[in-house]
Every structure is written in C-alpha cells, then in structure tokens.
Amino acid sequence: MSLFTRSSGILLHPTSLPGRYGIGDLGDWAYHFVNWLAAHDQGIWQVLPLGPTSYGDSPYQTLSAFAGNPMLISLDRLVGAGWLSAADLADAPDFPQDHVDYGPVIEYHNARLHLAYGRFDGHSDARTVKAFEDWCAQNAPWLDDFALFVALKGLNEGRSWVEWPQPLALRDPDALEQARAEHASLIREHQWRQWVFDTQWSAVKQYANGKGIRLFGDLPIFVAHDSADVWANRDLFYLDEQGQPTVIAGVPPDYFSETGQRWGNPLYRWDLMREHGYAWWIKRFRAVLRTVDFVRIDHFRGFEAYWEIPAEEETAVNGQWIPGPGAHFFEVVRQELGELPIIAEDLGVITREVEELRDQFELPGMKVLQFAWNKPTNPFLPHNHVANCVVYSGTHDNNTTLGWWDEEMDDGARAFMADYLGHEVRDPVWTLMKIGMRSVAHTFIMPLQDVLALGSEARMNTPGKPAGNWTWRFTGDLLDRRANPALGHLTWLYQRRADQQEKEYGDAAL
C-alpha cells in the first residue's frame, strides 16, 4: 500500500498561530487548529522546519538539525505543569497580534523559560526528574553537543562559534570538559528546554494523528555554518583549520537572478559520509521522522549535483556543479528506514538526472500552480500532473494567491489562464483551490493564507529579502470569519478524504 493516499491539507508554521505571548506556540491554539482541520475534512498539517532559529529568524538556518525551537514552548502549559504561575504571565507585554516581533518575544520567552526551569530544578518529584533524565540519555548523541553549543554561544554574546576562544571553537577536549563542569546548570537548562519542546510537540502530534491528520515536516538539505551540527562534526564539511568554510552552497545565475544565490552553507564531505554509511544523515532522518509523519527535502536536486562556490566569492557566479551522493545515498537510507516517507522539493531548473533520481525511489515531486500559466507544456499545468506528486497553490516562498494575482500576474498570463480554463478568472483563490483539489496528484496543499483569501501583507517569505520575513500570524477571528466554507465540500467532491467517500451528494453539497 502506498504511503501517500489521496488527501489535502494546509501549510501553516506554528509560529503563525494566534496567542497572547507574541508568537504561535504548542498550546491551546495548536489543538484548536487541529480541530479546525478535522472539521474541514483536511488530512494534513504541513509545517516548516521546527529547529531553533538564529540571526534572521529563518527556520531554514537553524542552530541544530535535531533540536526544536524553544520559542514554540507553550508558557500556559508550563503553568499547568506547576513550573510557572498565572501571576508570572499576567504582565505579558502587549505583543502584536498579526506578526512576530522576534527581539522582544525572544527576550520575554527566555526569561519565563529560565524561571520555569528554576522551579522544575528545585521542586520536581523523582518521577518527573527521571523522565527528563531518561529522555536526555536517549537523545545524548545530539543533545549533549547542542546544549553545550547553545550555552557557549550565549556566554560568547551570541557570536558564531568560529569567533569563540580557539580551544572551544576547535573542541579541545580539556577545554570542553572544563566548560561542561563550569556551566553544568546552564547546559542542563538547555537540555530541559528541548525535553519540554519534545514533550509538547509529541502531544500535539499524537492528538493530530488521533484526528486522522498527518504531519508533514520540512528538512533543508544543507545546515547552517553557525550550528551545533557543523561545530561538532567539522570533519564532515569542507572547512579550513580554523573552521571557516572553503566552499559554500548556492545556485547559479538564472532567469530570476543575474548573480545567482550565495547561500553560504558549508558543503558536505560526501566521500567521508559514504565511508561512514551516511550515519549522520540516518540519525537526522530518524530524528525528524519521530516528530512528523512525512518530510519534504528542501533542494532535493543537491543530492544529484550541487553548485559549489569558493567561499571567498561575493556572488554565486563563479561556481561549478559537483556530483552529489546520488542513488547510493537513498539506497542506504532505504535499507535503514524502509519505505521512504519523503517528498522531493524539485523546483527550479531541474535536469533529467534529478528527475530520474526522484523517480527511481518513487519520491513525490512538487507542482506549484502559481508557476503554471505561460504555455501548454508547462509541467505545473493540471493536464501535466502525475499521481505521485504534491500540488500547491503556492509555497512559503510564494506570494499569497491573492497577492500573486494582484501584483505579479501580467495580462498575457491572465489571458492564457482564461483560455486554458474556458472562462475569465474572477476569484483566483477559489480557482486555484478547485484546480488543486481535482488534480490527479495524490496530495494538494494550500497555505492557510490562501484559505483565508489574504493579500501580500500575509506573505511568509520573500527570497532575497534581507529582513521582515517569517513574521506573519493570523488572528483567532479569521478562521471563523474568512475561512472558505467550501473547503470540506471540495475535499468530498474530489475524494480527498477516505471517510467521506460514502457520503451522498445531498449530504455533502453546499
């Protein structure tokens, strides 16, 4: 039986949930959103990477590929656990409701988490402490390095690890042992935050699965240079003796950028990873698949070939294509994990070799409807869809459908769309929803912004824009006031929910 059944769902990062503490979290609104999905017959909640963010607040540049973001911890549930009191939260600032102001939010949450840890540390019963310590032991292979890394980063005023004192930056064993002894309490607090995040997220996942809703995660192919992953595994990356990258990731010049994109992520030593049976990647997959049911690999094409840029270059122009690990990598992963619950992000300039790698392992690719409207051979047009793919109205990197229609669609594209559909498009959101729902693709995803018919003010990310991304939040009233009531009907009409299949038209129609 296929891992992917015919279904539909919503893309929404948890930071975008409502709540009084300045950022969405894993408290009541996470459960309310699951209930809303179930009530509208949706079977998927897709999220962005859940790791701890750093400078720029991007979930695609995190401090760890294994850890969770402590800012998502529900403070209200810490009251329920007895580690905070209602009085501790009574003076919460008047945070914006429609966006995340990360600086003040992080400062406020860190202070409350520190207070809660002090209560846990001083007043928890033996069973609670044992549960925490058992979890730490189970996750020690990544947790010990991560907690030490975050502690040292804080003690070094947030600077990148290559700017720390050299014995710590280059992991001198004596220096690390001394740091662990001197900062044991701080390290333990960061371990506790990860335990609390994992406990709260696991509860949300269990609740969602119990409602018939699967969670889709997101796994960027590359990791941030300033991360515990690179600091603790320097031999697996192309770095110089001081830990600086010698070559970095990006994409070459194309239609969208004359100088390409210089991402700056260090590149993997795939030769050494292969010698070790891709052990680091196997651990990474196991970790993420404990938190979600399926995972999208961002920049999948990098497994076939990746653009290598000398680190001293200021743009991505002077790079070269280097072969990736290819089929051997996925063969090993499949041997370890079995059938692969992986979606391949195969957008951009994709070669025949990338498509063959994707199809060899029967991985679903992606089709984005906003990209479809120029010529009949466009692979994103519905008549070119295949069953084994995931269709999106747009992704987190796109404008909202309403913003795209108002600000990015030219007259030629609108005319082509009208010709293709056989009628003038008056409601682009409704149109893309129907097109995606009736596609032969086994999965259709819409960002919540599209379900709410919001404009470009609700855009999550604009690639290349240096600031102001990842901040959008919706307010609680919008789900009832603006959500399209036809969502559940279309799910039934195009048979994207198995338990709806026996309904008669009179029971399901609008």
Q: pLDDT tier at 349 (50, 70, 90 boundaries)?
A: confident
User: How does pLDDT run across 163-215, given as a tens digit for each residue?
Assistant: 999 999 999 999 999 999 999 999 999 999 999 999 999 999 999 999 999 99
- Residue 485, pLDDT > 80, answer no
User: How does pLDDT run across 302-348, given as a tens digit for each residue?
Assistant: 999 999 999 999 999 999 999 999 999 999 999 999 999 999 999 98
Q: How far is CA 129 from CA 135, 136, 145, 169, 192, in A?
A: 10, 11, 21, 32, 10
- Residue 262, pLDDT > 70, answer yes
Helices (H) and strands (E) in the chain, counts: 21, 12
- Residue 256, pLDDT > 80, answer no
Q: What is the largest CA-CA distance in the chain?
A: 74
- Other Cβ atoms within 10 Å of 468 Cβ, number: 11
User: How does pLDDT run across 32-66, given as a tens digit for each residue?
Assistant: 999 999 999 999 999 999 999 998 999 999 999 99
For the chain, percent of residues with pLDDT exceeding 90? 90
The dihedral built from the CA positions of residue 263, 380, 376 and 419, taken in this order, carries a sign that is negative
> Would you list the domain boundaries of the chain?
7-216, 233-363, 370-510
pLDDT of residue 254: 79
- Residue 249, pLDDT > 90, answer yes
User: How does pLDDT run across 426-458, given as a tens digit for each residue?
Assistant: 999 999 999 999 999 999 999 999 999 999 999
pLDDT of residue 501: 60
CATH 3.30.9.10 fits 7-216, yes or no: no
10/44 Cα distance (integer angstroms): 6
pLDDT of residue 481: 78
- Residue 384, pLDDT > 60, answer yes
pLDDT of residue 1: 43
- Residue 491, pLDDT > 70, answer yes
Q: pLDDT tier at 505 (50, 70, 90 boundaries)?
A: low
User: How does pLDDT run across 79-132, given as a tens digit for each residue?
Assistant: 999 999 999 999 999 999 999 999 999 999 999 999 999 999 988 899 999 999
436/451 Cα distance (integer angstroms): 13
Q: How far is CA 352 from CA 32, 71, 346, 349, in A?
A: 43, 41, 11, 10
Q: Are 96 and 22 in contact (CB under 8 A)?
A: yes
- Other Cβ atoms within 10 Å of 261 Cβ, number: 19
Q: Are 64 and 52 in contact (CB under 8 A)?
A: yes
End-to-end CA distance of the chain: 33
109/21 Cα distance (integer angstroms): 8
pLDDT of residue 226: 98
Q: pLDDT tier at 257 (50, 70, 90 boundaries)?
A: confident
User: How does pLDDT run across 386-397, given as a tens digit for each residue?
Assistant: 999 999 999 999
| Rounded mean pLDDT, 248-253 | 94
Q: What's the pTM value of the predicted model, to 2 decimals?
A: 0.96
Phi/psi at 422 (5° precision): 85, 10
pLDDT of residue 334: 97
The long-range contacts involving 415-419, CB below 8 angstroms and separated by at least 24 positions, are: 416/373, 416/374, 416/375, 417/373
Structure tokens at 456: 């470009």
- Residue 25, pLDDT > 70, answer yes
pLDDT of residue 147: 98
Enzyme catalytic residues = 298, 345, 397
Instruction: Count how many Cα atoms sit within 13 Å of the Cα of residue 198 in the half-sphere of its side chain.
Output: 19
pLDDT of residue 510: 46
**List of residues 6+ apart from 283 with CB closer than 8 A:** 66, 141, 142
369/81 Cα distance (integer angstroms): 45
Structure tokens at 507: 């029971």
